[in-house]
Structures are given as structure tokens and as C-alpha cells.
């Protein structure tokens, strides 16, 4: 039996971290706003890769301290972290040998922050999980999402349709040359990975979801995989973003690629990922913070239903937890 199943049931509370090049823009570009989701700014404002890549030259988060962030999570009662290793913009937050578009090779920071988070979690006794965008990749001509552009997104399109307009796209190329090899790297180089948090399955077919599932299990047998891998290949159910259901529902005849709602859970495991304000990535203008009481009530309600509460923090461009976020988390513990 997977040793992490019982742990996950008891974990109840974790911290998600969104952090990347988008954190430097902080929700604004050339006098325009990214809207509610700062991490979608490249798509929302159609920033060309040639322009967006310039951010790598100034990404030097000198105040980043993984141990300090992990200590905050632990002191606030959180049992695990889930950290973005690559978001939809295609920029890896670890030292990838597959693609030099990463924080170690492409920036003056020249550090592997995923390694630092993994080490800090191990030292503090917290479980470590990773987020990886396994479908969308705006840095790649053949990145996914192009089959679903009739569906509303937080940006302009799901794929990069501004750089790669006249292009007969083939997701299988991106999948085999970048996505699957990077997943193998992550599952090999960072010790025990407790959870794998995949996202927005818009393009993957059943065989591709199965291949990712099998690769993760071969390298990390106890890693729990979330339902957003797609096509019904998962160990636990991710509910919709900020989804706080009134009650548990018995799922029947579900769309396994839907981002929200209940699905059958093979191990009885559920999780809601939620923001502390509106955006997942750091945004200057987003000061719509949830109160400590609201977070406390949501956590208790979800936990009562047997659903873990994965609460997001968007680090800023210098690698810091925003002061309001830290204050709210510390205040919630005292309620």
C-alpha cells in the first residue's frame, strides 16, 4: 500500500507556491493589467517570447530563503508544500538539462530553488510536492492548448497563438522532447516527492496521461498524482480553484478532464487549492486579501468534509512572501 495515502488523509493543510518570471511583472505590463491572474500575464497581454525572455536577465531574487518560507508554513500548521517547477510560460524553476530556459542557466541568480525547497522541507519534516504544467507551454511552438481555444481561459488563448500563429502544431513533439523528460528530471533529482500537481489537461490524450502516470510511479512509487493530469489517471482529486463545496457529492458520469467538481477518488483523497487574494502569482494591485477568519472557516469546513486545504502564496520578484500573506497566516493560527 502507498505509504502516503494515510499521510495525505491526515495532512489537512498545505502551502502552494506560485513563483516564476511573471512575479517580476507583478500583474502589470506596459501600462496594462493582467487581470485577476498575474501568472497568466504573458497570454493575457500577448507578450512575445523575445520580450518575455528579457526578464531572465534581471531575475535575481536575492531575498529568497527556502528555510524561512518552510518554517513559516510549519509554524502555521501546514504539513506539506507544493511548489511550481514549471508554469504555463515554460520557464523552469530548477536546473533542467532538458531546456536551458530555467532559473539556473538563464538568470544571474544561478540557483536551483526546487533543490533548496526540497532540502528545507526534508530538514523541517514537511512533505514536498511539485506543480508542473504538463500541457501548456507558451515557450514552445508545439505547446498544448491549441485544441481548446474555443474554451474561455484566463489569457488570450490556451496556447501561444501570438508568437506561433502560422503553425501546424504537434503537441506530441513538445511532449516527448520537453515535457516528459523534464518530469523524469524532477522525479529523479529532488529526493522524495509526495505529490505531483499537474494542471489544465486540454490536449493530452489517454496514452500521454498514462505515460506520465507510469513514469512518475516508476521513479516515485509513493508519489500521489492529482486528477488534473487528465483522462482519469490519478490518485487523488483536485477540486476546482477555490472550490469550497457545501457537502461531498458522489460523482457519477463525470468529465475526467473538467477542472472543478467531484470525481471518483480511488483512495478517498480530495484537495482544494485556493488563493489568499485573487491571483496565484504575485500582483501589486491585488490587495483583496481573505481575512484570517475566512481562511480559518474554509479550512475547518473542508477538513470536516475530509478535503485538504492547499493555500497558495505568490512570492514576489525578490523571492519574498508578501507581508500581508504572512500576517494573515500567522493570525489564522491564533484563532
- pLDDT > 80? residue 257: yes
Give the per-residue SS3 of the chain: CCCHHHHHHHHCEEEEEECCCHHHHCCEECCEECCCCHHHHHHHCCCCHHHHHHHHHHCCCCCCCHHHHHHHHHHCCCCEEEEEEECCCCCECCCCCCCCCEHHHHCCCCCCHHHHHHHHHHHHCCEEEEEECCCCCCCCCCCCCHHHCCCCCCCCCCCCCCCCCCCCCCHHHHHHHHHHHHHHHHHHHCCCCCEEEECCCCCCCHHHHHHHHHHHHHHCCCCEEEHHHCCCCCCEEECCCCCCCCCCCCCCCCCCCCCCCCCCCCCCCEEEEECCCCCCCCCCCCCCCCCHHHHHHHHHHHHHCCEEEEEEEECCCCCCCCHHHHHHHHHHHHC
- The answer, yes or no, to whether residue 10 has pLDDT greater than 80, is yes
Question: Does 2 have pLDDT greater than 90?
Answer: no
- For 217-241, what is the mean pLDDT? 97
Lowest-confidence region among 72-81, 182-191, 258-267, 281-290 = 258-267
Asked whether residue 253 carries a pLDDT value surpassing 90, the answer given is no
| Widest Cα–Cα separation across the chain | 56
* Contact predicate 233/225, CB 8 Å: yes
Average pLDDT over residues 250-267: 89
The percent of residues in the chain predicted with pLDDT above 90, rounded, is 96
Q: What mean pLDDT comes out for the span 161-182?
A: 94
Whose grid coordinates read 544561478? 110
Computed over every residue of the chain, the mean pLDDT equals 96
**Residue-wise over 114-129: b if at least 16 C-beta within 10 A, else e?**
bbbbbbbbeebebbbb
Tens of pLDDT, residue by residue over 101-123, are 999 999 999 999 999 999 999 99
Confidence of residue 141 (pLDDT cuts 50, 70, 90): very high
Average pLDDT over residues 305-328: 98
Residue 252 has pLDDT above 80, yes or no: no
pLDDT score for 79: 98
Q: Which of 166-175, 296-305, 310-319 has the lowest mean pLDDT?
A: 166-175
Task: Judge whether residue 166 has pLDDT over 80.
Answer: no
CB neighbour burial string for 52-89, b if at least 16 within 10 angstroms, e if fewer: bbebbeebbbeebebeebbebbbebebbbbbbbbbbbb
Q: If pLDDT is split at 50, 70 and 90, which confidence band does 95 have?
A: very high
pLDDT band per the 50, 70, 90 thresholds, residue 277: very high
Q: How many CB atoms lie within 10 A of CB 276?
A: 21
Query: How large is the average pLDDT for residues 41-51?
Result: 98
For the residues 255-274, what does the mean pLDDT come to? Answer: 94
Amino acid at each position: 500500500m502507498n505509504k502516503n495515502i494515510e499521510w495525505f488523509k491526515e495532512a489537512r493543510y498545505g502551502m502552494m507556491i506560485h513563483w516564476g518570471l511573471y512575479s517580476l511583472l507583478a500583474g502589470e505590463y506596459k501600462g496594462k493589467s493582467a487581470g485577476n491572474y498575474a501568472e497568466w500575464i504573458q497570454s493575457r497581454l500577448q507578450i512575445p517570447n523575445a520580450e518575455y525572455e528579457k526578464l531572465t536577465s534581471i531575475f535575481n531574487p536575492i531575498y529568497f530563503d527556502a528555510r524561512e518560507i518552510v518554517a513559516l508554513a510549519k509554524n502555521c500548521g501546514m504539513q506539506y508544500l507544493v511548489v511550481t517547477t514549471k508554469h504555463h510560460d515554460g520557464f523552469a524553476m530548477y536546473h533542467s538539462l532538458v531546456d536551458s530556459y530555467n532559473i539556473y542557466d538563464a538568470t544571474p541568480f544561478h540557483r536551483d530553488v526546487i533543490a533548496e525547497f526540497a532540502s528545507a522541507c526534508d530538514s523541517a519534516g514537511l512533505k514536498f510536492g511539485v506543480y508542473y504544467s504538463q500541457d501548456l507551454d507558451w515557450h514552445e511552438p508545439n505547446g498544448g492548448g491549441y485544441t481548446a481555444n474555443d474554451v474561455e481561459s484566463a489569457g488570450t488563448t490556451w496556447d501561444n497563438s501570438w508568437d506561433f500563429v502560422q503553425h501546424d502544431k504537434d503537441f506530441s513533439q513538445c511532449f516527448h522532447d520537453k515535457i516528459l523528460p523534464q518530469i523524469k528530471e524532477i522525479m529523479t533529482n529532488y529526493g522524495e516527492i509526495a505529490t505531483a500537481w499537474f494542471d489544465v489537461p486540454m490536449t493530452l490524450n489517454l496514452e500521454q496521461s498514462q505515460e506520465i502516470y507510469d513514469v512518475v510511479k516508476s521513479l516515485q512509487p509513493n508519489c500521489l498524482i492529482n486528477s488534473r493530469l487528465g483522462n482519469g489517471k490519478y490518485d487523488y482529486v483536485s477540486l476546482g480553484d477555490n472550490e469550497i463545496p457545501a457537502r461531498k457529492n458522489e460523482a457519477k458520469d463525470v468529465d475526467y478532464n473538467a477542472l472543478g467538481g467531484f470525481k471518483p477518488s480511488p483512495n478517498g483523497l480530495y484537495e482544494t487549492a485556493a488563493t489568499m487574494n485573487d491571483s496565484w502569482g504575485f500582483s501589486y494591485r491585488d490587495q483583496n486579501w481573505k481575512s484570517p477568519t475566512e481562511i480559518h472557516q474554509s479550512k475547518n469546513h473542508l477538513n470536516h468534509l475530509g478535503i485538504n486545504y492547499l493555500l497558495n502564496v505568490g512570492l514576489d520578484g525578490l523571492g519574498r512572501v508578501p507581508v500581508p500573506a504572512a500576517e494573515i497566516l500567522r493570525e489564522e493560527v491564533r484563532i
